[in-house]
C-alpha cells in the first residue's frame, strides 16, 4: 500500500471557486494542510495547440477550459459586482450575504491585480429604457473589467500566493472517486495517486459535470435536472453595439420570443473581440473573448444568443441533448464549428467560402461555412432569428445580412444537487461550490461561493 498523503482539506478543481476557498482557509488558518488538485495543467503551461488557423485538435483535457485558474483563465475577466445575473447565489444566501461575499472577491482581486485599477462600468437608465420600449430587458449591474491579460496575471498572482501560504498545488490530478474510510475521505486519481482528507470541496466547474453526476449517484445525493441553453455566437462590426459597450461594457439582454414565448438571452458580449472554439470532451463549440490592450482589438464584436430550454418529465438528460446538437454541427462542419451569414440563413441557403470571402464582416474564427438550420431544431432557430430582429431595434445593423452566426454554443447547467444544508454540503464533510453546483454561472459568484463555504468549514473547525 503506497503512502497516502493526509490533508485537512482537499479541493478538487483549481478554478476561481477552488482558489478563493483555499485563499480564505489559509488566510484564516495558516496551519491547515490544504491541497488543490487539478486535472489540467499549471496556468503558465496551458497552451492551446490549435495553432494559427484555430482548428481544434481535440485534446483529452482542453487547455482553454481546464487547468489552474479554471475556465476563466483566458476569459475577458468580467466580474459582476452584484447578483442580477451570473447565478442564483443571491436567492440561496439572501442578497445581502451574497453581495458581501462578492465584495470580498472584489477586494482580493484588487489586492492581486498588479496593473492599473481596472475599469468599473456603471448601470445606465437611458439604455434600460430604450430596451424596455422594444420589449427587451437589459440586465443591469456594475461590472469590473480586468481584460484577458490582467485577469491572467491576477490569477497567476493568487496562485503564487497560495503556494507561498503552503498549499499543495497538484496538476494533472484528475479525481475519479471520493470514498469514506473511517473518519476520512480517500480520493483516487487517474494518475494512480491517492490522497486522504478530513473534508473535501468539489470545485470542478462545468467541465466536471460528469464527475459530480457520478459522485451524486454513488453517494445517493438527489439531483434536479436543470435547464440548458442552446444557440449561436453572433459576430458583427463592433460599431453596431458601441453605444452600449462604451456605456455599460457588456449588454446582457433578455427577450421573450413571439412565436413560442420562450426566453432567449443575449450575453457574453466581447467588444473588439475574437470568436473562439472550445473543446468540451471532444465536442467543439463556439465561444468568444476579447483583450484589454488596444492593439489586440479586432474591428468586430461578438456575443451569444441562447434559447433556454427547461425539460419536463420523463426526459432528464439536457446536457446530452445539447451535446448531440453540437455534435451534429461538428459532423456537418467536418469536426469544426459552423459559420453562416444571417442573410443566407434567412434566404434558406448555406454559406460557402465564396460568400464568406465577400462578407463585410471578416470572421475571427476559422469555422466551416455551412447551414445552421440543418442543425438547430426549428423552435430554437425561430427563437434566435426573432431575437436578432428584436435586438436590431436597439442596435440597428444587428440583423444585417453580413452578420455571422457560429453554431453551436451551449451552456449546460444540467444537474443541481440537493444540498444537505445551507453550507452546500452534499454528504457529511463534502461540499460543492462554483459552476459545478448548478448555482453559479460566473466568476464573481463562483469565487464568492468558494469563500462562503470556506467560512462554513472554518466555523465547524472552531
Ligand atoms: C471562454 C470563457 C469566458 C468566460 N468569461 C467570463 C467572464 O468574463 N466573466 C464571468 O463572470 N464568467 C466568465 N466565464 C465563466 C467562468 O469562467 C466560470 O463561471 C467560472 O470559471 C466558474 O468557476 P469554477 O471555479 O466554478 O469552475 P472552473 O473555472 O470551471 O474550474 C473548475 C476546474 O476544475 C477542474 N476539474 C474538473 N473536473 C475535475 C476532476 N475530476 N478532478 C480535478 N479537477 C477537475 C477543471 O479542469 C477546472 O480547471 C467564462 C467562461 C469561458 C469558458
pLDDT band at 73 (very low <50, low <70, confident <90, very high): very high
Q: Percentage of the chain surpassing pLDDT 90?
A: 79
* Unique residue bearing C-alpha cell 475519479: 176
Average pLDDT, the chain: 93
Same domain, residue pair 37 and 155: yes
Same domain, residue pair 46 and 167: yes
pLDDT digits (tens, 9 = 90+) for 209-228: 889 999 999 999 998 876 88
Domain contains 440:
yes
Same domain, residue pair 304 and 366: yes
Q: Which of 412, 433, 449 is the last residue of a domain?
A: 412
Q: What is the DSSP letter of 65?
A: T
What average pLDDT does range 90-109 have in this prediction?
A: 97
Same domain, residue pair 115 and 32: yes
> Cell digits for 201?
470541496
Q: Which atom of ligand 1 is nearest to the CA of 151?
A: 8
Sort strands 338-341 and 404-412 into parallel, antiparallel or unpaired: antiparallel
Domain contains 126:
no
Same domain, residue pair 394 and 351: yes
Residue 274, strand partner residues = 289
Cα–Cα distance, 220 to 218 (Å, whole number): 6
Domain contains 237:
yes
pLDDT digits (tens, 9 = 90+) for 300-351: 999 999 999 988 888 878 888 999 999 999 999 999 999 999 999 999 999 9
pLDDT band at 107 (very low <50, low <70, confident <90, very high): very high
> Cell digits for 357?
470571402
pLDDT at 414: 54
Q: Which atom of ligand 1 is nearest to the CA of 444?
A: 11
CATH of the domain at 182: 3.50.50.60
What average pLDDT does range 23-40 have in this prediction?
A: 98
Same domain, residue pair 241 and 351: yes
Strands (E), 16-145: 34-38, 78-80, 119-121, 136-138, 143-145
pLDDT at 53: 56
What average pLDDT does range 99-123 have in this prediction?
A: 89
Same domain, residue pair 203 and 267: no
Rounded to the nearest angstrom, the distance between the alpha carbon of 39 and the centre of ligand 1 is 12
Same domain, residue pair 258 and 321: yes
Domain contains 46:
yes
Number of domains composing the chain = 2
Which of 12, 56, 61, 70 best tests ligand 1's pocket when mutated (most atoms within 8 Å of CB)? 70
pLDDT at 388: 98
Same domain, residue pair 241 and 274: yes
Say if pTM beats, i.e. exceeds, 0.85. no
Cα–Cα distance, 249 to 271 (Å, whole number): 8
What average pLDDT does range 16-43 have in this prediction?
A: 98
Q: Which atom of ligand 1 is nearest to the CA of 65?
A: 53
Sort strands 368-369 and 338-341 into parallel, antiparallel or unpaired: parallel
Q: How many CB atoms lie within 10 A of CB 104?
A: 19
Is the pLDDT at 24 greater than 70? The verdict is yes
Q: How many CB atoms lie within 10 A of CB 217?
A: 10
Domain contains 131:
no
Cα–Cα distance, 462 to 460 (Å, whole number): 6
Rounded to the nearest angstrom, the distance between the alpha carbon of 17 and the centre of ligand 1 is 8
| Structure-model confidence comparison of residues 57 and 298, the more confident one | 298
Give the residue among 443, 359, 460, 456 at the shortest CA–CA distance from 105. Answer: 443
* Peptide bond before residue 408 is cis, with ω within 30 degrees of 0: yes
Provide the residue range defining the domain that includes 345.
227-412
Domain contains 364:
yes
Cα–Cα distance, 319 to 327 (Å, whole number): 12
> Which residue has the least CA distance to atom 13 on ligand 1?
442
Query: H-helix or E-strand containing 323?
Result: helix 318-332
Rounded to the nearest angstrom, the distance between the alpha carbon of 68 and the centre of ligand 1 is 10
pLDDT at 48: 87
Same domain, residue pair 200 and 317: no
Rounded to the nearest angstrom, the distance between the alpha carbon of 394 and the centre of ligand 1 is 32
Rounded to the nearest angstrom, the distance between the alpha carbon of 72 and the centre of ligand 1 is 5
> Which residue has the least CA distance to atom 15 on ligand 1?
442
CB 227 within 8 A of CB 413: yes
Is the pLDDT at 254 greater than 80? The verdict is yes
Same domain, residue pair 425 and 314: no
pLDDT at 201: 98
| Pocket, ligand 1, Cβ cutoff 6 A | 12-18, 37-40, 65-67, 70-72, 75-78, 80, 86, 173-175, 203-208, 211, 287, 289, 434-436, 440-444, 446
Rounded to the nearest angstrom, the distance between the alpha carbon of 119 and the centre of ligand 1 is 23
Phi/psi for 326 (5° steps) reads -65, -35
Q: Which atom of ligand 1 is nearest to the CA of 450?
A: 25
Domain contains 133:
no
pLDDT digits (tens, 9 = 90+) for 150-201: 999 999 999 999 999 999 999 999 999 999 999 999 999 999 999 999 999 9
pLDDT at 226: 67
Is the pLDDT at 448 greater than 80? The verdict is yes
Same domain, residue pair 108 and 185: yes
Q: Which atom of ligand 1 is nearest to the CA of 13?
A: 34
Domain contains 127:
no
> Cell digits for 6?
493526509
Rounded to the nearest angstrom, the distance between the alpha carbon of 461 and the centre of ligand 1 is 28
CB 34 within 8 A of CB 116: no
pLDDT digits (tens, 9 = 90+) for 261-282: 999 999 989 999 999 998 887 8
Which of 106, 188, 201, 205 best tests ligand 1's pocket when mutated (most atoms within 8 Å of CB)? 205
Q: Name the packing angle between helices 16-28 and 443-461 (round to 10°).
A: 30
pLDDT at 318: 86
pLDDT digits (tens, 9 = 90+) for 357-385: 999 999 999 999 999 999 999 999 999 99
Amino acid at each position: 500500500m503506497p503512502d497516502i498523503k493526509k490533508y485537512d482539506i482537499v479541493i478538487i478543481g483549481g478554478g476561481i471557486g477552488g482558489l478563493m476557498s483555499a485563499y480564505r482557509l489559509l488566510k484564516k488558518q495558516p496551519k491547515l494542510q490544504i491541497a488543490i488538485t487539478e486535472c489540467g495543467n499549471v496556468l503558465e503551461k496551458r497552451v492551446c495547440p490549435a495553432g494559427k488557423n484555430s482548428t481544434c485538435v481535440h485534446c483529452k483535457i482542453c487547455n482553454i477550459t481546464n487547468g489552474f485558474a479554471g475556465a476563466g483563465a483566458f476569459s475577458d475577466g468580467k466580474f459582476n459586482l452584484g447578483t442580477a445575473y451570473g447565478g442564483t447565489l443571491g436567492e440561496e444566501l439572501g442578497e445581502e450575504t451574497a453581495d458581501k461575499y462578492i465584495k470580498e472577491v472584489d477586494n482580493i482581486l484588487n489586492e492581486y491585480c498588479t496593473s492599473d485599477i481596472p475599469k468599473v462600468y456603471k448601470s445606465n437608465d437611458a439604455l434600460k429604457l430604450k430596451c424596455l420600449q422594444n420589449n427587451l430587458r437589459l440586465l443591469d449591474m456594475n461590472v469590473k473589467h480586468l481584460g484577458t491579460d490582467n485577469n491572467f496575471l491576477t490569477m497567476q498572482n493568487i496562485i503564487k500566493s497560495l503556494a507561498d501560504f503552503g498549499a499543495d498545488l497538484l496538476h494533472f490530478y484528475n479525481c475519479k472517486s471520493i470514498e469514506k474510510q473511517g473518519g476520512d475521505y480517500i480520493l483516487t486519481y487517474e494518475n494512480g495517486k491517492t490522497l486522504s482528507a478530513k473534508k473535501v470541496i468539489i470545485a470542478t466547474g462545468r467541465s466536471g459535470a460528469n464527475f459530480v453526476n457520478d459522485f451524486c449517484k454513488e453517494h445517493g445525493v438527489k439531483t434536479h435536472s436543470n435547464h440548458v441553453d442552446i444557440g449561436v455566437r453572433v459576430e458583427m462590426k463592433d460599431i453596431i453595439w458601441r453605444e452600449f459597450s462604451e456605456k455599460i461594457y457588456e449588454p446582457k439582454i433578455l427577450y421573450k420570443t413571439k412565436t413560442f414565448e420562450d426566453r432567449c438571452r443575449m450575453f457574453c458580449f466581447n467588444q473588439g473581440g475574437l470568436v473562439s472554439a472550445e473543446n468540451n470532451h471532444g465536442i467543439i463549440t463556439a465561444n468568444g473573448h476579447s483583450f484589454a490592450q488596444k492593439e489586440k482589438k479586432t474591428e468586430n464584436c461578438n456575443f451569444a444568443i441562447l434559447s433556454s430550454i427547461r425539460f419536463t418529465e420523463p426526459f432528464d438528460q439536457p446536457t446530452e441533448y445539447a451535446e448531440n446538437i453540437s455534435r451534429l454541427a461538428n459532423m456537418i462542419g467536418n469536426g469544426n464549428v459552423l459559420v453562416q451569414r444571417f442573410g443566407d440563413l434567412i434566404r434558406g441557403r448555406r454559406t460557402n467560402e465564396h460568400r464568406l470571402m465577400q462578407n463585410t464582416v471578416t470572421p475571427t474564427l476559422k469555422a466551416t461555412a455551412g447551414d445552421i438550420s440543418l442543425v438547430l431544431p426549428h423552435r430554437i432557430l425561430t427563437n434566435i432569428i426573432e431575437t436578432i430582429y428584436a435586438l436590431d431595434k436597439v442596435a440597428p445593423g444587428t440583423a444585417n445580412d453580413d452578420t455571422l452566426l457560429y453554431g453551436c454554443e451551449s451552456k449546460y447547467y444540467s444537474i443541481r444537487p440537493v444540498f444537505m444544508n445551507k453550507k452546500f454540503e452534499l454528504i457529511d464533510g463534502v461540499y460543492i461550490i462554483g459552476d459545478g453546483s448548478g448555482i453559479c454561472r460566473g466568476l464573481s459568484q463562483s469565487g464568492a461561493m468558494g469563500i462562503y463555504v470556506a467560512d462554513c468549514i472554518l466555523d465547524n473547525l472552531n
